[in-house]
Amino acid sequence: MRLRLSYDDRSAAILVLPVLAVLLVVAAYPILYSFWVSLHDIVLTRPLRRPFVWFENYERMLGDARFHTAVLRTTVYTVVTVTVTTALAVGVALFLNESFRGNKLLNALLLLPWATPSIVNGLMWKWIYDPTYGLMNALLVKLGLLDSYRAWLGDPDLTLFLISNAAIWKQMPLAALLLLVTMKAIPDDLYRAAKVDGATVFQRFVHVTLPALRPGLMLVLVYETMISIRHFDLFLIMTQGGPGDASYTLSWLIYVETFRSLRFGTGAALSYLLAMLTFLLSWLFIRFLGERNP
């Protein structure tokens, strides 16, 4: 059967072609080439050898204790960051959905943390946590909650949560706005009908707001998970994976393998593993939240 294209189809194809060509060069080729790299044992400091090793890099990384640690740390970090960000965002969106004086100003102010560059955010929180002149120590000591200054980021039990806190501070505003937009689209009739039926505030939230929020929640969960699972800048600025291996996440491991050990083969393999994990989680969110979308 011959494919017959209309004039419009042909015109559209011709107009799309330049963009497609650019995408092939800047996106498709690097993605495919990095997969090819992941099948080689490439160490930049040994430029005279680059054997093809099939999936050995993947095998080696999957059996590496550092990888297991990194997966655990990434999971904890992602679960904490996404859960708290989403919960706070729902609360903030509910609050901003109400009509009150100064609502618009608050909406604008809410965007400030989100608009702060990641590097600035990382440095700001690093200073806040600083063991000698940090605001957090000063505040807690003044309030009598702490006897003396502590090295917060030097405590391996707290590090991950403190970094997560910095991430939540930056990411929550966008999540709140996304949910607010969804909330604004909920027809008032639903709330009025629920009130007539005698539903309490909590019942209206559970039976009206939450189901209607599902598309927004799915978007927030997918977006925040993808951001958190690949988070790197805060780890670079605040702890460099430490202390010890306390903040050794997958992104950090990829950085170490690729740019410190200069092992491009295993670095690329790890990147693919991370990408697969991200796709899998996104797919799960879409499948379980998306299909039941009313």
Partner 1 sequence: MQEASRRGVLQGLVAAAMGVPGMAAAQAAGKVNFIGWSAAVDQIKAHIAAFERDTGVPVNYENFPFAQFRTALVTRLVGNAPIDVAWISDAWLPEFVEAGWLADIEDMPNLKRYGSETAAYCNQSMTYKGKQYGLSYYGDHMSFMYNTEVLQKAGIAAPPTTWDEVVEQCLKIKAAGIMEYPLLLSLGADTWLIEFVSALTFSFGGSFVDDKGDSVMGAPGGGAVAAAKWLHEAIHKHKILAPGAVETVELNGLRAFGSGAHAFTIEPTYRIRSLNDPAQATAHGKIRLALMPKGGPRGTHDTCGWIRFYGLTPAAKADRARRERAVKFIEYFGGRDTKGNYSLQEMLLLDVGLPSCALPLAEDAEVKTFWTRWAGGGAIVAEQAMKARKKDVISPWFGEWVESSNQAWQSVCLGRATPEAALAGLGTKWNELKRAFR
**Interface residues with partner 1 (CB under 8 A)?**
43-48, 131-132, 148, 150-151, 153-156, 239-246, 248, 256, 259-263
Alpha-carbon distance of 65 to 71, in angstroms, equals 10
Measured CA angle at 215 (ends 190, 192), to 5 deg = 10
Listed residue (261, 278, 265) closest to 59, CA to CA: 265
Alpha-carbon distance of 54 to 40, in angstroms, equals 7
Is the CB of 229 or the CB of 253 nearer to partner 1?
253
Crossing angle of helices 264-285 and 29-38, rounded to 10°: 120
Least distance CB 256 / partner 1 (angstroms): 6
Is the CB of 51 or the CB of 117 nearer to partner 1?
51
Distant-in-sequence, close-in-space partners of 172: CB < 8 Å, separation ≥ 6 = 85, 88, 89, 92, 113
Is the CB of 156 or the CB of 211 nearer to partner 1?
156
Is the CB of 33 or the CB of 279 nearer to partner 1?
33
Least distance CB 150 / partner 1 (angstroms): 7
Least distance CB 34 / partner 1 (angstroms): 12
Q: Identify whether the C-beta of residue 172 lies closer than 8 Å to the C-beta of residue 85.
A: yes
Over the Cα atoms of the chain, what is R_g?
24
Give me 154's structure tokens: 């030097």
Alpha-carbon distance of 247 to 85, in angstroms, equals 19
Q: Identify whether the C-beta of residue 268 lies closer than 8 Å to the C-beta of residue 35.
A: yes
Is the CB of 84 or the CB of 166 nearer to partner 1?
166
Least distance CB 276 / partner 1 (angstroms): 25
Least distance CB 273 / partner 1 (angstroms): 19
Q: Identify whether the C-beta of residue 111 lies closer than 8 Å to the C-beta of residue 173.
A: yes
Alpha-carbon distance of 63 to 56, in angstroms, equals 10
Is the CB of 134 or the CB of 173 nearer to partner 1?
134
Least distance CB 20 / partner 1 (angstroms): 21
